[in-house]
Amino acid sequence: MAKFIITGGKKLSGEVTVNSAKNSAVALIIASLINRGITRLKNVPAIEEVNRLVEVLVSLGVPIKKENNDLVIGPVAKIDLKNINIVAAQKTRSIIMMLGALSSRLKEYAVPQAGGCRLGSRTIKPHLYALEKIGLDVKTEKDKYLVNVKKLRPAEIVLYEAGDTVTENILMAAAQTVGETTIKFCSSNYMVRDTCHFLERLGVKIEGIGTSTLKVHGLANINKNIDYEISEDPIEAMLFVSIGATTNSAITIKRCPIDFLELELLKLEKMGYEFEIIKKYKGRNGLTNLVDIITKPSKLKALEEKIHALPFPGINQDNLPFFVPIATQARGETLIHDWTYENRAIYYPELNRLGANVTLMDPHRVEVEGPTKLYGAEVVCPAALRPAAIILVAMLAAEGTSTLYNVYPIHRGYEKLEERLSALGADIKLVEE
């Protein structure tokens, strides 16, 4: 247990650099199980979600060592599930991708039930429907998934929903299935592209990367020594954009993956948010388009239209919550529609403890009236990463001292955030309990 003590209401300044993407990193750690050779993942974020997955893989007998910011995984000659670290596995929803990753390794296996953020009912049926098409029989029990692999066979698959994790899951299975598998209604989000490019490094040919239809030419045996550079995190970039807007500060945010922020920035521009893109360049992987952004003090106004997420190229579902603290400082009423999850919007009125005026209209919609003066308060982190992060954003803008308890959900997704915020001039202390 740990808490943040924050004295807010300060203008921030300076530079902050966006780290590698959490959601890409966790997918690629699991995807490394496909490779019989050695996988080096470069610039892996030092976050709790990664730590839990490393604990799981080590418990399977997978050699892993950390070299500076890299994870060196393998060679993965054999997978043994009998001693799997169930406690660590149950703390991350990403564990569900082991269903696809292990499909050519074992004929029968059990994967612990997924955990992670508490965001209401999150059906796994899209995973099951897709995987059964390719030859996996998955039965759901109270605390685990039982998998029987009949025979992997290429197929034409229409995903039940265009989800990021389900797309990655079926990609991992298809990569190990000899022949051409067509996957339709795919997500084309950043972590899916990272997964595709990673699989290509392993020798798997994939057509249609960045579109909603992928053709995967799977291989019978994947055994290569590879390096892979993880792309930068648009959700972390949006966190700092939100901090700049909510605290009315001028900060420079470096290494922002612009292709996955363009619509968010356009909406903010129409809200009166002033910023400048000062540099454009390629990421270290040679694939990601990056920019540096300078935020500026701005007078914000509410949009007439609702703000809602959509599959890429819409507003990212993980970026949507960051509009809530911004809207508390915008003149007028902002309607935010979080249709993706049954119970994520219920956390947004927690900002009212800090003086915000957020009305929960139903489990999916909130109306935010602004601008409001925010004041320090004591709040317990919700058991969900992005709702926890927006409380932190609001506390940075709130005058007086705030205490944010049980900050593990934030450390699941953000590396040394308190240190990086302190470098921008924030008065924030991490206190271990």
DSSP string, 152-221: ----EEE-SS--HHHHHHHHHHHHTSSEEEEEES----HHHHHHHHHHHHTT-EEE-TTSSEEEEEE-S-
| Residue 395 in tokens | 């506390």
For residue 341, the model assigns a pLDDT of: 86
| Known active-site residue 117 | yes
Q: Does pLDDT of 125 surpass 50? A: yes
Please tell me the distance from the alpha carbon of residue 234 to that of residue 377, in angstroms, as a whole number.
29
- The average pLDDT across 341-370 equals 95
R_g of the chain computed on alpha carbons: 21
Q: Which of 117, 196, 256, 381 is catalytic?
A: 117
8 Å CB contact between 249 and 12:
yes
- The average pLDDT across 67-72 equals 96
pLDDT tens, position by position, 127-139: 999 999 999 999 9
Q: Does pLDDT of 118 surpass 60? A: no
- The average pLDDT across 282-309 equals 97
Q: Does pLDDT of 220 surpass 80? A: yes
| Residue 48 in tokens | 């709790």
What is the percent of the chain with per-residue pLDDT over 90, rounded to a whole number?
Answer: 91
Residue 198: which residues within 8 A CB-CB, separation 6 or more? 28, 31, 228
Position 121 confidence tier, pLDDT thresholds 50, 70, 90 = very low
- The average pLDDT across 158-165 equals 94
For residue 124, the model assigns a pLDDT of: 85
Domains 2-19+232-432 and 22-229 share a fold: yes
Please tell me the distance from the alpha carbon of residue 112 to that of residue 375, in angstroms, as a whole number.
42
Position 122 confidence tier, pLDDT thresholds 50, 70, 90 = low
What is the percent of the chain with per-residue pLDDT over 70, rounded to a whole number?
Answer: 98
Give me the residue spans of the domains in the chain. 2-19+232-432, 22-229
The CA-CA-CA angle for residues 186, 152, 82, to 5°, reads 100
Averaged pLDDT of the chain? 95
- The average pLDDT across 276-304 equals 97
Q: Does pLDDT of 119 surpass 50? A: no
For residue 343, the model assigns a pLDDT of: 84
Please tell me the distance from the alpha carbon of residue 430 to that of residue 279, in angstroms, as a whole number.
33
Q: Does pLDDT of 100 surpass 80? A: yes
- The average pLDDT across 30-50 equals 96
Position 115 confidence tier, pLDDT thresholds 50, 70, 90 = low
Instruction: List the helix and strand counts (H, then E) for the chain.
Output: 13, 24
Please tell me the distance from the alpha carbon of residue 408 to that of residue 404, in angstroms, as a whole number.
11
CATH homologous superfamily of 22-229 equals Enolpyruvate transferase domain (3.65.10.10)
DSSP SS3 for 404: strand
My answer on whether omega of the bond before 126 falls inside 30° of 0, hence cis, is: no
Q: Does pLDDT of 294 surpass 90? A: yes
Q: How far is CA 269 from the centre of its chain?
A: 24
Position 120 confidence tier, pLDDT thresholds 50, 70, 90 = very low
Nearest in space to 198 (alpha carbons), one of 402, 415, 33, 400: 33
Question: How many C-beta neighbours within 10 Å does residue 171 have?
Answer: 29
**Domain 2-19+232-432: which CATH number of 1.10.1370.30, 3.40.50.1100, 3.40.190.10, 3.65.10.10:** 3.65.10.10
- The average pLDDT across 180-199 equals 98
- The average pLDDT across 225-253 equals 98
Q: Does pLDDT of 264 surpass 70? A: yes
For residue 140, the model assigns a pLDDT of: 87
pLDDT tens, position by position, 364-386: 999 999 999 999 999 999 989 99
| Residue 51 in tokens | 């730590």
- DSSP letters spanning 357-379: EEEEEETTEEEEEE----B--EE
